[in-house]
Amino acid sequence: MTLTLQPVRVATGAEDEGLLVFDDEQRLRAILIHLSTENEVAPGHWYLEAGFGRLGGHTHPTFADLDAAQSWITHRLDHKKG
C-alpha cells in the first residue's frame, strides 16, 4: 500500500502543521498533526488527530517520526482487511 501525504494547516490551537493521509484509492484515511517542540507530552512528534474507516476509533497515538506514523497506518489498514 502506498500512502499519499498532503500538507495542510489545521486549527488545533498551538500546532497547525498537519498532513492529510490518503490511501491508494485517494480516500482520506487520517489527519496527522506535527506537535511543536514546545509540546509538553511529545515534543516534535506526530499525532493522529483523526482516523477514518479502519483507522477510526478512540486510539490517537503519537509517533516519533513520519516513517513510524506511516508504518502504523499501513499495518492497521492491511491487518484489518478481509
**Structure confidence by residue, pLDDT tens digits, 28-41:** 999 999 999 888 88
Give the predicted TM-score (pTM) of the model.
0.90
Give the residue-averaged pLDDT of 11-19: 85
Q: Identify the band that residue 44 occupies on the pLDDT scale cut at 50, 70 and 90.
A: very high
**Cα separation, 73 vs 78, whole angstroms:** 9
Domains in the chain, number: 1
Element (H, E) at 11: none
Task: Print the domain residue range for 33.
Answer: 4-79
- Residue 80 is predicted with a pLDDT of 61
pLDDT of 82 > 70? The answer is: no
